[in-house]
Amino acid sequence: MSLMTTTPVQPDAQPADDSLSIIQRIQQGLETTPEIHPALAQESSILEIERFCLWYTKAQAIFSLSMGIPRGKVTALIGPSGCGKSTLLRSVNRLNDLIDGVRIEGRMLLNGESIYDPAVDVIDLRKRMGMVFQRPNPFPMTIFENVIYPLRIDGERRRSVLVEACERALRGAALWDEAKDRLNESALGLSGGQQQRVCIARAIVAEPDVLLLDEPCSALDPIATLRIEELIHEISERYTVLIVTHNMQQASRVSDYTAFMYLGRLVECGPTVDIFQNPRLQETEDYVTGRFG
């Protein structure tokens, strides 16, 4: 049991009983301190999460979670299902506002600006973040209209701008060669993997600061998954990516940093190589090797 807290984010709670593992402590609802690798502290964060708690009506889904998302890097969120990964992701672009009875505490800062400040225009905030969901959800429109949707709602009318942006986004989503002759066909006629790439194109067409991917490959076959993974790799050169994934190999392949969550809490967070090859916590190792979770 090696509890080496390098960056103590929770000053108040110090473990009283060293004999319990962190997982057991979480299961018992005790305070825990996440294991955060020092490498993370050297990165500049585009998104700073500070003691973030979230409740669905009465049920708490996220417990005082603190971490930074490094700028220009791919950060993977892993953890067993139901641990609050999607919830955390949806909190970043305030999509949870749409659900009645959601309450939060703590802060999230995007470029130092509080996301949950009443003065923040949530529409504007969401425009600065692209989001891709678990299931491909293209609109029942043409591929072209799907991709440029964020620009359309932004009031962009100039055809030339739209066409150019569409091509850029589709190239970015590695769909241009397949789709360039079918831009005016329905996006619903594409395969699952192509649909998901349309959604990625839609997410990047407005040049967002952060790209939020919620298990983007879970509904796809292995080949499509591979293409999307390559794509995430390419995209990561230009954007900060926060990706939720169920798949350990995927996390290790695509991400620079990995955060392991369990029951709404952060357990360990650090460079992906360290998390997968040299985790500080036994539990993390158990999880990433599939012995637990």
Partner 1 sequence: MVWLLGAALVLNIVMIGALLGLIAVEGMRAFWPHPIEQVTLRTGERFLGVPVREEAFEVSAQRKRELLARVEAGEIAPETTASDGRPMRRLYRIGNRDLGQQPFRWVEIENLESAERPDEAVFVERIAWGVFLGVPEAVVLQTLAPAPLDAEGSPMLGAPAEGTVDEDGATIRLTRELRRIEVEAGVFEPFVVTRRYLAEGAAETMRLLRELIPEAAQRREHLRGLRRSKIGPINAAMTHLRERVTEAEIKLQRAEAGGARSTPAVVWFGALAAAGALVVGVGRASRRARKSGRRPTPLAQMLSHAGVVLAVGLVLFVWLERPVGGSMTPERYDHIVADAAARQAELEVEYDAVAAEIEEVREIDSQFRVIIRDPAADRFAPERQSTPDEPMRISQIVRTVQPNTLSAGDRLGLYLARWWEFIADDPREANTEGGVFPVIFGTVLLTILLTIVVVPLGVLAALYLREYARQGVVTSFIRIAVNNLAGVPSIVYGVFGLGFFCYTVGAYVDAGPSGATQLPVFQWWFLVGAGLAIVIAAGSVGILSTRKPGQVDSRGYKALRITSTCAWIAAFGIVAAMFVTTPYFHGFFEARLPDPTFGKRGLLWAALTLALLTLPVVIVSTEEAIAAVQPSLREASYGSGASKWQTIKRVVLPGAMPGILTGMILAMARGAGEVAPLMLVGALKWAPELPISLDAPFLHLDRSFMHLGFHIYDLGFQSPDSEAARPLVWASTLLLIAVILLLNLTAIMLRARVRRKMGSGHF
Ligand X SMILES: Nc1ncnc2c1ncn2[C@@H]1O[C@H](COP(=O)(O)OP(=O)(O)O)[C@@H](O)[C@H]1O
Q: Which one of ligand X, partner 1, Mg ion, none interacts with residue 139, CB within 5 to 8 A by kind? A: partner 1
Q: Which one of Mg ion, ligand X, partner 1, none interacts with residue 103, CB within 5 to 8 A by kind? A: partner 1
Give yes or no for a contact between 208 and 155, defined as CB atoms under 8 angstroms apart.
no
Q: Residue 232 belongs to what H/E stretch?
A: helix 222-235
Q: Could you say whether residue 234 binds partner 1 (CB under 8 A)?
A: no
- Candidates 44, 223, 231, 48; CA nearest to 132 is 231
Pair of tokens at residue 134: 């678990």
- Candidates 154, 152, 145; CA nearest to 121 is 154
- What are the residues whose beta carbons fall under 8 Å from the beta carbon of 44, sequence distance 6 or more? 70, 71
- Candidates 82, 133, 123; CA nearest to 263 is 82
Q: Could you say whether residue 86 binds Mg ion (CB under 5 A)?
A: yes
In the list 8, 29, 38, 82, the residue contacting ligand X (rule: CB under 6 A) is: 82
Q: Could you say whether residue 55 binds ligand X (CB under 6 A)?
A: no
Is the C-alpha dihedral spanning 199, 200, 203, 206 positive or negative?
A: negative
Q: Could you say whether residue 85 binds partner 1 (CB under 8 A)?
A: no
Q: Which is nearer to ligand X, 59 or 119 (CB)?
A: 59
The least distance separating partner 1 from the CB of residue 119, rounded to whole angstroms, comes to 5
In the list 2, 44, 81, 160, the residue contacting ligand X (rule: CB under 6 A) is: 81
Which range of residues in 28-36, 72-80, 127-135, 283-291 is near partner 1 by CB under 8 A?
Answer: 127-135
Q: Could you say whether residue 91 binds Mg ion (CB under 5 A)?
A: no
Query: What residues form DSSP beta bridges with 78?
Result: 260
Q: Which of residues 83-112 bind ligand X (CB under 6 A)?
A: 83-87, 99
In the list 3, 13, 41, 153, the residue contacting partner 1 (rule: CB under 8 A) is: 153
Q: How far apart are CA 200 and CA 194, in angstroms?
A: 10
* Residues within the interface to Mg ion (CB under 5 A): 86
